Amino acid sequence: MSLQRFGIAFLCFTTSACAGPPDDPLSMLESGQWVELTHELSDEALFWPTAEPFQLDTVFQGQTDAGFYYEAFAFCTDEHGGTHLDAPIHFAEERWRTHEIPLESLTGPAAVVDVSDAALENRDYQVTVADLQQWEDRNGLSIDGHILLVRTGFSELWPDAEAYMGTSLRGEAGVAELSFPGIHPEAARWMVEEREVKAVGLDTPSLDYGRSTLFETHRILFEENIPGFENVANLHLLPDEGAYVVALPTRIRDGSGGPLRIVGWLPG
């Protein structure tokens, strides 16, 4: 079996789509689909108020002297803007840097916990242990071995900074006005003490809710080398369970994070 066919067979094997690798693993592509979970990086992309926005500069665009068309650009971006990875080193000393995170922590079955009703009613909502346990009870599964993705519904407010982040102000004045949902530190503590998740992501700017000043959820998760995905898009397109996630950041050596391309596979 080729490496490509083996990879697809493994994908099928690690989801609920089939009991084991099919005779023709490529056939699963005919009945499933990929879902984009990444916001585009552009001058509209949202960044933390103290971070510089994304910048794309033209190096060359047009016809060359040799008579053919050519385009090239240079870009500048903060690690922690747009859809991005938080490496554990971001808030936990001597933990994984961006280039050190194993692929096993960035790929796996998704547990999608939908708290959008509560979050859209209270934009400072924090995901609770009860929310996670209700997901387990409803699906008859543990979140062990999953990439936990929290849907707050805020992705649908992108790229309106005022609606999405609670403020369009920049700098420290903007930080003081941030307001959006996140994950309660007690839920993070439950995840590391009672469960073993691969990674945690959500469709807001931070794992901690906007008004946090101590970033306890980051610190609890990252101390255990659990990476974070922030500003994830389109979680409404994923089912509660059954999707497979691939979340690959730009592999910045010694980085504390980086731009993230995250996608989900929905078996047919």
Dihedral of CA 79/105/217/219: which sign? Answer: negative
pLDDT tens per residue, range 159-214: 999 999 999 999 999 999 999 999 999 999 999 999 999 999 999 999 999 999 99
| Structural domain of 254 | 22-266
pLDDT of residue 176: 97
219 φ, ψ (degrees, to nearest 5): -65, -40
pLDDT of residue 268: 85
The residue written with tokens 């397109």 in the block is 237
CATH number at residue 142: 3.50.30.50
pLDDT tens per residue, range 121-139: 999 999 999 999 999 999 9
Write down the pTM of the prediction.
0.90
10 in any annotated domain: no
2 in any annotated domain: no
- The structural domain count of the chain equals 1
Kindly compute the dihedral angle of the four CA atoms of residues 123, 39, 251, 145, in this order, to the nearest 10 degrees.
Answer: 60
**Neighbour-count burial for 33-68, b at 16+ CB within 10 Å, e otherwise:** eebebbbebeeebbbbbeeebbeeeeeeeeeeeeee
**Residue 245 pairs with which residues in a beta bridge?**
108, 264
% of the chain at pLDDT higher than 70: 89
> Is the distance from CB of 93 to CB of 244 less than 8 angstroms?
no
67 in any annotated domain: yes
